Amino acid sequence: MSVGVIAAPVDPWVLPLDGSQELSHELVGGKAWSVNRLAALGIPTPPAAAMTIAACRVYLSTGSLPEHAWEQLLSALQAIERASGRTFGGSTRPLLLSVRSGAARSMPGMMDTVLNLGLNDAVQSALARESGDSGFAADTRRRFEADFLNTVLADPQGSVPADPWQQLRKAVHAVFNSWHSARARVYREHQGLSHEAGTAVTVQAMVFGNLDDRSGTGVIFSRNPASGEPLPMGEWLPRAQGEDIVSGRRTPQPIESMQAVLPGPYRDLLAFTRRLEQDARDVQDVEFTVEAGRLWLLQCRSAKRSARAALRLAVSLCEEGLISKAEAVQRLTPEQVRSLREPRLDPDALAGALQLAAGTAACPGLATGQAVMDSESAVERGEHEDVILVCRTTSPEDIHGMLAARGIVTALGGATSHAAVVSREIGVPCVVGCGEAVLELLKGRRLTVDGQGGRIFDGLVRIAAATPPDDPDLRRFTAWAREQEAAPPSLLAALQAAT
C-alpha cells in the first residue's frame, strides 16, 4: 500500500500468475495465489492472470471496473495467448478461458465460475477441426452455454453473446457480482466473515479433461485427510471436466486406477503433490486435469481435515522435520482437541459406506437409527427403538418428535432454520437442507447421521471410540504444548481434559 497524497500513476488491477513475483491472498485471493505458486515452483499450470480484490471493491461500489482495469486484462490475455500458443476468439487453435472467483478466505462453491469461455460458432468449428472430434467441440459448447446462461445471465432463456470479449467482460462482472449473491452472504454470515472484503477473478487458459481417452480430471490429497495416514488419496474421472466430479453426476474412481491408464501423469502427479506438501509444510488438496496425456495442476490449498487427522499430521510433520514443535502446537485448535474426545465414524467403515445425502451440518454428533418420516411416528417408534426423524422442514409442533429422535434430517432450510436451532438446543445430531429427494430416498432405511460432516449414510456405519487419553500422538502433542510458553491457555485446558 503506497503512503502519500499522490496515488501511484497506474494501479495494477491485473497481475500475471506466472510466478515472477510473490503475491498475497489479500491481493489476488487463494485460488490465484496457488496458481502463481505452482508457476513459481515450475509445476505445470495453464497460463493465467488475476484481476485483484481491490478492483472488485471498486466495481461493487461504483458499478464499473476501475479505469485501465479492462485494458490491463486484455494485455494479460495477450500474454496468456503467447504462453499457450493460442488465440482468444481465433479460427485456428482457439484459446478458451476459465473465469473463476477467489476470495482471500476460502468460500467453496459460494461464488460463480464460468468454464470454456470464448466459444461461438466459428470457434466451435475451429475446436472441432483441431481435435478432429466434433462431439468434443459440441460437448464443450454445451457446457459453456449452460454455465453462461445459469451463472452470468441467470436466465436459462437468455442468449449468449457471440463476441468472446463481451463474454469475458460479462463473466468478470458476474464473478464480482456473485460476491453479493444470497448464498455467499448467508455463508459469510454463518462463518463470521466480512461482507466488505470482495473477490478476485482468475482468468486461466482452459485445458480439457473431456478431450479424449487419455484425458481426465480429479482431486488428490497429499495424505489421507480423514485419518492423517501418510498415503496420498484421491479420485478422478476419465474423460470429464471438474464439474462432473463436483456435481456428483458421475462416480469418480480411486486415484490409483489412473496408474494403469496414464502412468506418466500419475507418477508426476504424486511427485508434484509431495513437492507442494514440502513447500507448504502442510497436507495439500490439489485439483488437476490431464489433457491428451499431459498433466496440469489447476489449484492447491491446505486440506480440510478431521480432528484426528489434524493430531496425526501435527505430530508426523514435526517428526519428519517439516515443522517445528512450536508450529505443530499451532496446528490444532482447542475445539479440535475437544472433539478428539467424541466418538467418530470409523475411517475404514467409512471407506465402504454408501453416502446417501449431504446437507448443512446443523448440530454435531453421530446418530444411527431407523428413518421415520414424521414426528408422530418418531414419538411412537422412538419409545422402543432408535429413530432418525426425516422431514421436509420442522416447526414447533414437531418438537416432541425431535426429542424422541436420535438424529434429525431435513430436506429444506439452512443453518438458522427451526430444525437447526432446536437441534442445537436439545443436542440432537442434525443435518438440514439435504434436498427434496431425501424424503423418498431415506424412507424405510436404517441410517447413520454425521452431524459434524453434514452427511447421511446408508445403514449403521461403525463408530470408532474417542481418542483414548494414552494415545501416543496425543501424549506427544500434549508434552510439546506444555513446553511452549506461547501455547494458548484454552488449548492447554482442552489437552488437560483430554489426557
Tell me how far, at minimum, the Cβ of 347 lies from another protein, in Å. Answer: 23
Q: Is 439 helix (H, G, I), strand (E, B) or coil?
A: helix
In angstroms, the first-to-last Cα distance of the chain is 47
Among 416, 435, 440, 497, binds another protein (CB under 8 A): 416
d(Cα 429, Cα 434) in Å, to the nearest integer? 14
Question: Could you give the string, one character per residue 311-340, with x where binding to another protein holds by CB under 8 A and - elsewhere?
Answer: ----------------------x-x-----
User: Quick one: angle between helices 53-62 and 25-40, nearest 10?
Assistant: 140
Give yes or no for residue 377 binding another protein (CB under 8 A).
no
Q: Is 187 helix (H, G, I), strand (E, B) or coil?
A: helix
C-alpha distance from residue 485 to each of 64, 323, 327, 338 (Å):
50, 17, 13, 21
C-alpha cell, 344: 467418530
Among 414, 445, 460, 487, binds another protein (CB under 8 A): 414
User: Quick one: angle between helices 121-131 and 134-147, nearest 10?
Assistant: 140
What DSSP character marks residue 152? I
What DSSP character marks residue 65? P
Give yes or no for residue 489 binding another protein (CB under 8 A).
no
Give yes or no for residue 419 binding another protein (CB under 8 A).
yes
Among 57, 418, 462, 475, binds another protein (CB under 8 A): 418
The number of beta carbons lying within 10 Å of the beta carbon of residue 121 is 9
Tell me how far, at minimum, the Cβ of 137 lies from another protein, in Å. Answer: 38
User: Which single residue is written with the C-alpha cell 489421507?
Assistant: 224
The residue type of 428 is: V
Tell me how far, at minimum, the Cβ of 18 lies from another protein, in Å. Answer: 35
Question: Could you give the string, one character per residue 171-210, with x where binding to another protein holds by CB under 8 A and - elsewhere?
Answer: -----------x------xxxx------------------
Tell me how far, at minimum, the Cβ of 182 lies from another protein, in Å. Answer: 7
Q: How many residues belong to the site for another protein (CB under 8 A)?
A: 37
Give yes or no for residue 413 binding another protein (CB under 8 A).
yes
Tell me how far, at minimum, the Cβ of 342 lies from another protein, in Å. Answer: 12
Give yes or no for residue 415 binding another protein (CB under 8 A).
yes
- Buried b vs exposed e over 308-324: b needs ≥16 C-beta within 10 Å? bbbbbbbbbbbeeebbe
- Residue with smaller CB distance to another protein, 214 or 400: 400
Give yes or no for residue 5 binding another protein (CB under 8 A).
no
- The answer to whether 101 touches 200, Cβ cutoff 8 Å, is yes
Residue 383: which of 363, 409, 403 has the closest Cα? 403
Among 58, 245, 422, 434, binds another protein (CB under 8 A): 422
C-alpha distance from residue 60 to each of 119, 174, 179 (Å):
27, 11, 9
DSSP 118-140: S--HHHHHHHHHHHT-HHHHHHH
Tell me how far, at minimum, the Cβ of 3 lies from another protein, in Å. Answer: 31
Tell me how far, at minimum, the Cβ of 403 lies from another protein, in Å. Answer: 8
Tell me how far, at minimum, the Cβ of 447 lies from another protein, in Å. Answer: 20
Q: Is 364 helix (H, G, I), strand (E, B) or coil?
A: coil
Give yes or no for residue 364 binding another protein (CB under 8 A).
yes
- Residue with smaller CB distance to another protein, 369 or 433: 433
Question: Could you give the string, one character per residue 432-451, with x where binding to another protein holds by CB under 8 A and - elsewhere?
Answer: xx------------------
Among 273, 410, 448, 467, binds another protein (CB under 8 A): 410
- Residue with smaller CB distance to another protein, 23 or 494: 494
User: Which single residue is written with the C-alpha cell 487453435?
Assistant: 93
Between residue 387 and residue 406, which ones bind another protein under the rule CB under 8 A? 392-400, 402-403
User: Which single residue is written with the C-alpha cell 452472504?
Assistant: 185
Between residue 95 and residue 114, which ones bind another protein under the rule CB under 8 A? none
Residue 320: which of 235, 234, 222 has the closest Cα? 222
**Which residues contact another protein (rule: CB under 8 A)?**
182, 189-192, 333, 335, 364, 375, 392-400, 402-403, 410, 412-422, 424-426, 432-433
